[in-house]
Amino acid sequence: MKRFLLATSFALVATCAFAQDSSEKPQNGAEYEFTVIKEVPVTSVKDQYRSGTCWCFSALSFVESEILRTKGDTLDLSEMFVVGKSYHDRAVKYVRVDGALGFSAGSSFGDVFHVISDYGIVPQSAMPGMNYGTEKPEQSELDAVLLAYVEAIAKNPNRKLTTAWLNGYDGIISAYLGEYPQTFEYEGQTYTPESFRDYLGINTADYINLTSFTHHPFYTQFPIEVRDNWRWDTAYNLPIDEFMEVMYNAIDKGYSIAWGSDVSERGFKGSGIATVPDVDIRPGAGSDQERWVGKEESGEKAENTTGAEKKITQEMRQVEFDNKLTTDDHGMHIFGIAQDQNGNRFFMVKNSWGDAGNYQGIWYASDAFVRYKTLNIVVHKDAIPKDIRKKLGIK
């Protein structure tokens, strides 16, 4: 059985596939200086640009780190192979439930693992996915066309579907993203997507989805009630202190973390810093980066590091989620822990906005921010402390 969201549901690393000094010097006037405590190898920073596919870029970055951990191989996996297969599955479900389902570019980490399990995976070289005339992903046209298509099918007045609708839909995806490779060459060997998955040793059953909210019992599973969770996958629910224990343990034991978070916050800065300032002001919320941090903030200085942060409680998390102030904005990849010049701990976050910010595409998220605004994480089951695994019934 597939345990990940399919069935129901980190010794100091001396080198990093993405070049990262042990001390990150501030640039462009930034007021933070970070010293790495521990980091996990990651691949290079990518740019999702004008696409809503952070869920795929971040989850595949996580998978690439897992391959680095288990095989020592540095790979660049094809995001658009996953995006296309995901859009296929979503259309089938959308039509099946007569359009009563969220349909957009956004999705969840679990979606990536479903695709890998069901269809396999290919390297970027086998399917670049840029068949529509731009150098970076620009997918608003594709998103709009696919939505209009499935809406028309779901509202078919004849009720009986033709045998052509899904082929027509898949044809649109192929026109924009390219054909899915049936076979391809990698390092002198021929693979199919399925055999490449197996060669890489990706076992989707080993990956666990975790969250922390009080509207469901702790140590049980529930589908997080957000639009992008269109597969209705479940997450294991932990008290926030144990949830954070998992995250610190993961990095300490050499595992990275797929991180889903709300980034529409005053403290999530375009400079590459995420904190929870002890103020009650929320900002207004275009590339995907501009959508969340604003065009004017993309080169803004980091906030003063002496600024106090809020003390986060379980109850505060719940109020924000219930009041729609914590939403499923953005997927990223946590790969390390650092401290600033004042000794405050920050999680090191690989983003998918190219070299944006003061740290070449890396964000530093404070303990308070992660504790407050994390929606969910995905980790390898062995990254979870044994006593917590036991409480969750994970072997």
Which residues, other chains included, contact 11 with Cβ-Cβ below 8 Å and sequence gap of 6+?
254
Per the structure, how many domains does the chain have? Answer: 1
Task: Please state the rounded mean pLDDT for residues 94-111.
Answer: 96
In this predicted model, what pLDDT tens digit does every residue of 174-192 receive, in sequence order? 999 999 999 999 999 999 9
Rounded CA separation 213/317 (Å): 7
Rounded CA separation 281/325 (Å): 12
The burial of 343, by beta-carbon neighbours within 10 Å (0-12 exposed, 13-18 middle, 19 or more buried), is given as: exposed
Task: Please state the rounded mean pLDDT for residues 193-212.
Answer: 98
64, 100, 120, 334, 360 from 197: Cα distances, Å = 12, 33, 5, 23, 30
* Banded model confidence at residue 387, pLDDT cuts 50, 70, 90: very high
Model pLDDT, residue 7:
39
Model pLDDT, residue 8:
39
In this predicted model, what pLDDT tens digit does every residue of 139-176 receive, in sequence order? 999 999 999 999 999 998 777 899 999 999 999 999 99
Model pLDDT, residue 291:
67
In this predicted model, what pLDDT tens digit does every residue of 318-374 receive, in sequence order? 999 999 999 999 999 999 999 999 999 999 999 999 999 999 999 999 999 999 999
More confident residue, 284 or 132: 132
Per the structure, the complete domain to which residue 331 belongs is given by 3-392
Which domain CATH number covers 279? Answer: 3.90.70.10
| CB-CB contact of 46 with 78 (8 Å) | no
In this predicted model, what pLDDT tens digit does every residue of 289-316 receive, in sequence order? 666 666 555 444 444 444 689 999 999 9
Rounded CA separation 284/293 (Å): 9
